[in-house]
Amino acid sequence: MTFIIKRIKKSFNLYRAFLLNADYDQLMISNSAKYALKAVIYLASYSSESKKVLVRDLSHHIQAPEQYLAKVVQELTRRGIISSTRGRNGGLFLKEDNRTHSLFEVVSAVDGVGDIESCVLGYERCDLNNPCPLHDLLGIQKSQFRKTLESTKIRDIQGYLDSEEELNF
């Protein structure tokens, strides 16, 4: 499990290393996708059908604005990536079938696939036949990052956070 997290970090860091002073976070995935990934990582480690997490508590633990996070988790719930129940004992949680989704599905649920597949310079027609100036430099890293997200399931990262003190988002 630690290997998978290290692989994701390495893939992302390789991509970031080429961008130097650019606002690389915005070139890869949005803040919404980052909050979605943080929420799923937290829920994978701390939730179950018998132990639900309120959006208020989740926003505190992952350091995300509560109202913004509420919209993100609403979309994840609508897409069946996370589960929720309303009422007195309600909250967010992951069932076993939620844990089979890939991290790519989490990101694309809130971002679509555009941010990951789009040109880092914003060129509309950037591909192998029409490369932008950074295409050859970053194309491999972007592909590797996407493949890592596609091959990593939520169940692969459950338990990554062993205690709330380790939560270092």
Would you say residue 110 has pLDDT above 80? yes
Distance between CA atoms of residues 103 and 85, nearest Å: 23
pLDDT value at position 119?
77
Non-local (6+) Cβ contacts of 5 within 8 A are 157, 160
For residue 24, what pLDDT band results from cuts at 50, 70 and 90?
very low
> Hey, which residues does 84 pair with through a beta bridge?
92
If DSSP codes are grouped into helix, strand and coil, which group holds residue 91? strand
Handedness of CA 133, 145, 168, 55 (dihedral sign): positive
The dihedral formed by the CA atoms of 53, 58, 62 and 68, expressed in degrees to the nearest 10? 140
pLDDT value at position 70?
96
Q: Report domain extents, the chain.
A: 25-155
Using the 8-state DSSP alphabet, how is residue 5 labeled? Answer: H
- How far is the CA of 114 from the CAs of 16, 18, 97, 117, in angstroms? 18, 20, 26, 5
Using the 8-state DSSP alphabet, how is residue 163 labeled? Answer: S
The share of the chain scoring above pLDDT 90, in percent, equals 46
Give me the architecture of the 25-155 domain, per CATH.
Answer: Orthogonal Bundle (1.10)
Using the 8-state DSSP alphabet, how is residue 106 labeled? Answer: H
pLDDT in tens, 66-78: 999 999 999 999 9
Mean pLDDT within 91-114: 91
